[in-house]
Amino acid sequence: MDILEINKILSNQLRLNILDWLKTPEDHFPAHKELGHFNDGVCVQYIGTKAGISQSTVSSYLSSMQKVGLITATRHGKWTYYKRNEEVIRNYIEHLSENL
């Protein structure tokens, strides 16, 4: 668990927003046409549109977030879906409680 890296990721408002939106995808994104559910989260395109940033930027944000474990990626057909990794998030906070 690289606390410093996670903190860096959490020091950007857009990335905080993304993490927040992913808590309740149904409140922030249209249901995906093909899947009709959010079991594996939300696809890159929807997140980028919502955030108002380019595909390349959102992709880079998401992969950095995935790298430290905050979110997980699942591929369904053409799309990659991202969702929160609640366990890692919980661990992170737990770690802060003990060490900050």
Partner DNA sequence: ACTACATTTCGGTAATTATCGAAATGTTTT
Partner DNA sequence: AAAACATTTCGATAATTACCGAAATGTAGT
Q: Which residues bind DNA (CB under 7 A)?
A: 8, 11-12, 14, 43-45, 52-57, 59-60, 62-63, 73, 75, 77-80
89 binds a second copy (CB under 8 A): yes
Q: Do 3 and 63 form a contact (C-beta atoms < 8 A)?
A: no
| Residue 39 CB neighbour total at 10 angstroms | 11
**Amino acid identity for residue 14 in this structure:** L
> Minimum CB separation from a second copy for residue 55, in Å?
24
Letters for 20-59 (x = contact with a second copy by CB under 8 A, - = none) are x---------------------------------------
Helix ranges, the chain (H):
3-9, 13-21, 25-28, 44-51, 55-67, 86-99
Q: Does 10 bind a second copy (CB under 8 A)?
A: yes
By the 8 A CB rule, do 36 and 7 touch?
Answer: no
- Site of interaction with a second copy (CB under 8 A): 3-4, 7-8, 10-11, 13, 16, 19-20, 89, 92-93, 96-97, 99-100
